[in-house]
Structure 1
Amino acid sequence: MSASPNPINPAQSLMNNLGKGVFWVVIVRGILAILFGILILAAPAAVAVALGIFVGAWLAVDGVLTIISANSARKANLHWGWELTAGIAYVVAGLIIAIIPLSFAVITGVFILWMLAVGMLIRGVFSLASKSFKGWSKLLGVLDIIFAIIMIVVLFSNPGAALAALVWIVAVYTIVFGIFLIIMAIMARSQTKKAVNS
């Protein structure tokens, strides 16, 4: 009975692939992520407008396609009323968003922050109320509640500052992610070269 081959380590397999074929793809992705992060920091309003226009255009096009699908369903004697209604709603929403993209970005950002604050508050309360959470879990629950209360106070008193903080967080995360991709690709390339030369 022959011994089974060693299982492939997924991390090693990923590093091998990075070192061989997709090295430059990962480098380019990293550079684009860094540039996008810098762009968010340099011109957050322009990025918000571009994002709003993109979402609006996508909704409008999707709405038109949904209306076409509803018309096809009507010709085939299938249910089409709700599909037509949804298509019209998509087109109207898409046009509104495309006309006022910055307002859409602000409303979406505030909504995301409120969801984060409420989610942290609920998680914190459940962590404190649950008998299965002890020690550090209870402390994390308290921290969740404290940060949630701070976020809620800031959102009530100065939503603009909360949005600015969100923009900075997204931008810094994007830049760090891009740097990580570049470092990972360079390390994988170096390992592959060492393996070939040895």
Structure 2
Amino acid sequence: METYLTRFWWLFLVRGIFAVILGILALVMPVTTFAVLVIFIGIYMFIDGLFTVAAAISSRKSRRYWAWWLLSGILSIIIGIITLYNPFITAFAIVMLIAVWAIVIGIMEIIWAIQIRKEIKGEGWYILAGVLTLLFGLMVFLIPESGIVLLASLFGLYALVIGIMLISAGIRLRKRGNGNISLTA
């Protein structure tokens, strides 16, 4: 395995460079990045739906629950088309889902912290965490653009970290091997 990895060190490096570039773009242009990601989700759902419908139809004689596959595929196709036709609807739905989740979790954290106040010390920190989560959810609910910017920025930070890790791995693998680039397995 070590020989294989050291021969293809450059794949880690290239993937890392692309991830860093994507991360920077997401941080510099978060709304555009989010829109592109939503469009990719729509394309994926559409194509996945086509394959699921084809699999359901081809297995209708051998699979007991093929109709559920068919329904799933049709729904994926419809949602994919809606997303591609109007990416704003899907982006808004994703952001609203996160907002509602944060509001519910924030309320639950506050209730939990109040309930355990006799059993632990420092429950105020848990209450603060719940309040911050609740405020985040309300902010995203009331100003959905803030949720879009936040999600794209988090994605950008993630891509940057992964990219740096991949570049580092590529450099270390190159040093461990002889540094040659191999295009064949």
Please list every run of 5 or more consecutive structure 2 residues that lacks an aligned counterpart in the other structure.
178-185
Moved more, 157-166 or 122-131: 122-131
1:91 to partner: Cα distance:
1.4
User: CA offsets per residue over residues 138-184 of structure 1, 9 Å max, x none?
Assistant: 24312211212321331343222233233223323432443344346
CA drift at 1:58: 2.0
Distance 1:47 1:175 in 2: 14
Identify the match of residue 49 of structure 1 among 17, 35, 38: 35
Query: How many residues get paired?
Result: 177
Determine if contact 2:46/2:79 at 8 Å carries over to the other structure: yes
One-letter code of the match for 1:57? I
How far apart, in 1, do the equivalents of 2:140 and 2:152 lie?
14
Change (3 A) 1:20 1:62: closer
Q: CA deviation at 1:86?
A: 2.2
Question: How far apart are 1:35 and its partner, in Å?
Answer: 0.5
The corresponding residue for 1:11 is none
Q: What amino acid sits opposite 1:87 in the alignment?
A: G
- Asked which structure has the greater CA Rg, the reply is 1
Match of 2:74? Answer: 88
Query: Residues 78 and 166 (structure 1 numbering): CA distance in 2 closer, same or farther, change over 3 Å?
Result: closer
- Alpha-carbon RMSD across the aligned residues, in angstroms, is 3.5
Select which of 56, 63, 85 maps to 1:99: 85
Name the residue aligned to 1:67.
53
Map of 1:119 onto structure 2: 105
Normalising by structure 2, what TM-score?
Answer: 0.71
How much identity, in percent, do the aligned residues show? 26
- The verdict on how the C-alpha distance between 1:77 and 1:111 changes in structure 2, with shifts beyond 3 A counting, is closer
| Equivalent AA in structure 1 for residue 40 of structure 2 | F
Q: TM-score, normalised by structure 1?
A: 0.67
Per-residue CA deviations over 1:65-119 (Å, capped at 9, x if unaligned) read: 2222332343458454333222222211111112112331232133224324433
